[in-house]
Amino acid sequence: MFREDALEQLRELGVKIAIDDFGTGYSSLLYLKRWRVDTLKIDRGFIKDIVTDPSDFAIVSAIIAMARNLNIQVVAEGIEGYQQLEMLRIMGCQLAQGFLFAKPAPAQDAARFLHAKTVDPSQQDWAEPSLAETGT
């Protein structure tokens, strides 16, 4: 069973605490009260239809707002399209991961990718125009 004092010992060593797949399974709001969490990773199931499903939009928006109020960093998992990325950017999500940026790769390929490329959506040669720029 998990011991909270072990978590604090890890934190003292500089380990950052993240809750993965937040919003599903055993990820409880009680964890946010009980532990000092550094990062919430929003489950891809909420991100997948964020552009078309008002419920997913509302849930993700609420998670991001709650995390901001608790001074917790947010990562959106499963980003596959520019509209998802733009919507999350507007909501104030700080970090994103998913196939839009890169597919899973062996460690040596990932290291080469990271050395060769900086993934910055604000770079005009990388990002599609924002929704505001396209008038949609």
Backbone φ, ψ for residue 39 (5° rounding): -140, 140
CA angle 110, 115, 120 (to 5 degrees): 95
Among 4, 8, 12, 77, the active-site one is: 77
With a CB cutoff of 8 Å and minimum separation 6, the contacts of 123 are none
Q: Catalytic residue at 77? A: yes
Radius of gyration of the chain (CA): 17
CA distances from 88 to 7, 8, 81 (A): 30, 31, 11
Residues with catalytic annotation?
A: 77
